Amino acid sequence: MNEQIKLPMTVIGAGSWGTALALLLARNGNTVHLWGHDRDDLLMMQKQGVNSRYLPDFLFPENLHVKLELVEALHGVRDILIVVPSTAFHAVISRLVPLMTKKHRIVWGTKGLDAESCETLDRVAQQVLGHHVSLAVLSGPSFASEVAQGLPTAVTLASNDEAFADELVARFSNDTFRLYKSNDLMGVELCGVMKNVLAIAAGICDGLKLGANARSALLTRGMAELGRLLQAAGGDSRTLMSLAGFGDIILTCTTNQSRNRRFGLMIGAGISVAAAVEKIGQVVEGYVNASQLQRLAKKYELDMPIVNAVYRILEQHLSPKDAAAELLSRKSTGRWG
């Protein structure tokens, strides 16, 4: 085994996805240090040996160690996995700065953009940590509960460091978890943002009972919008059809395990945005992402009507029925893109 892979790995973020990835890494033989912001949750996990709040059915292996202090979690570690909401990513990266050395490498399973700048998270990491740091992002169709169960899953791993990517593949891979490498960090991250908004749109469509034909058309046209965004932002066009792109869109937009889709279903059924957020009870990333993508569409002067419709429903009180009518009445260009 590579000497670097023998070192412990830190997972920052003890929610459902962070815990699922920590379980995966530990089951693969890695020593894992798990840390999160909620000390009471950490104490409970230490005592019970399970994350009873998010994944209560999966006991921690002996090599998964819950740490109460971030400094302790980073002891003896080179590779750090960040799995926090995108709104907390900048703060977490900034908190790491005084604790990191040149040896440390960062990978994240967070999907989203910076809350203030709308920059992709790789750019945020470079701005805070410098351009010398090895970075990677893990993204694709992957519900935490299924990864925790050991059900077959495949994702995209994008990195600016080939050696780091290879070592991460070795850490994460097993008979039911596969990774496909890419060097398009920005493109992979934009896909992870767009799929959240499309999932809300798909949920609204189904909440309105517009039918399977309408949902299929909506998602196909949504992919065209994503393709235009990738091209304008300088991403790799091939990323559109990757697990991080097409794969995650299929999963998130068609399965009710998706919080974003369930959120959209409620809105389409006539529940208010505020009430839908409260009913979900967890972060709905697509709610924030809609306004961020609206800003990017203006920045790049892109026509993104589905993003615009979701944004107006969430932020400007446009009724879902009126939004659907507007989309259906748009003049057809007769072209895919």
Domain boundary among 141, 164, 183: 183
CATH code of the domain in which 111 resides:
3.40.50.720
Q: Give yes or no: residues 47 and 139 share one domain.
A: yes
Residue type, 307: V
N-term to C-term CA, the chain: 46
Percent of the chain beyond pLDDT 90? 95
CATH code of the domain in which 297 resides:
1.10.1040.10
What average pLDDT does range 2-7 have in this prediction? 72
**Quick one: pLDDT at residue 331?**
82
Residue 336 lies in a domain: no
Query: Which one-letter DSSP state was computed for residue 237?
Result: G
What average pLDDT does range 229-236 have in this prediction? 98
Domain boundary among 133, 158, 183: 183
Q: Give yes or no: residues 177 and 200 share one domain.
A: no
pLDDT tens sequence across 162-202: 999 999 999 999 999 999 999 999 999 999 999 999 999 99
- The answer on pLDDT for 1 being more than 60 is no
Residue 179 lies in a domain: yes
Q: Give yes or no: residues 160 and 253 share one domain.
A: no
Q: Give yes or no: residues 102 and 227 share one domain.
A: no
Active-site pick, 195, 279, 321, 331: 195
H/E run at residue 228? helix 212-233
Place of tokens 């969430």: 314
Cα torsion through 165, 96, 114, 116, rounded to 10: -160
What average pLDDT does range 238-259 have in this prediction? 98
Q: Count of domains in the chain? A: 2
Domain boundary among 183, 216, 243: 183
Q: Give yes or no: residues 246 and 169 share one domain.
A: no
Residue 27 lies in a domain: yes
Residue 316 lies in a domain: yes
Q: Give yes or no: residues 198 and 171 share one domain.
A: no
* Cα(51)–Cα(179) distance, integer angstroms: 25
Q: Taking all residues of the chain, what is their mean pLDDT, rounded to a whole number?
A: 96
Q: Give yes or no: residues 199 and 162 share one domain.
A: no
Q: Give yes or no: residues 220 and 143 share one domain.
A: no
- The answer on pLDDT for 247 being more than 60 is yes
- The answer on pLDDT for 335 being more than 70 is no
Q: Give yes or no: residues 146 and 295 share one domain.
A: no
Q: Is the pTM of this model over 0.85?
A: yes
* Cα(5)–Cα(248) distance, integer angstroms: 28
Residue pair 274/315 in contact by the 8 Å Cβ criterion: no
* Cα(195)–Cα(102) distance, integer angstroms: 34
Residue 337 lies in a domain: no
Percent of the chain beyond pLDDT 70? 97
Q: Give yes or no: residues 154 and 136 share one domain.
A: yes
Name the E strands within the chain. Answer: 9-12, 32-35, 50-51, 55-59, 64-66, 79-82, 105-108, 135-139, 153-159, 177-182
pLDDT tens sequence across 54-76: 999 999 999 999 999 999 999 99
Residue 213 lies in a domain: yes
**Quick one: pLDDT at residue 284?**
93
SS3 229: helix
- The answer on pLDDT for 336 being more than 70 is no
Residue 164 lies in a domain: yes
**Quick one: pLDDT at residue 6?**
83
**Quick one: pLDDT at residue 44?**
98
| Confidence band for 3, pLDDT divided at 50, 70 and 90 | low
| Confidence band for 2, pLDDT divided at 50, 70 and 90 | low
Domain holding 226, by residue range, is 192-329
| Confidence band for 337, pLDDT divided at 50, 70 and 90 | low
Catalytic: 195?
Answer: yes
Place of tokens 């790799």: 236
Q: Give yes or no: residues 13 and 145 share one domain.
A: yes
Q: Give yes or no: residues 178 and 218 share one domain.
A: no
**Quick one: pLDDT at residue 332?**
77
Residue 76 lies in a domain: yes
* Cα(280)–Cα(30) distance, integer angstroms: 33
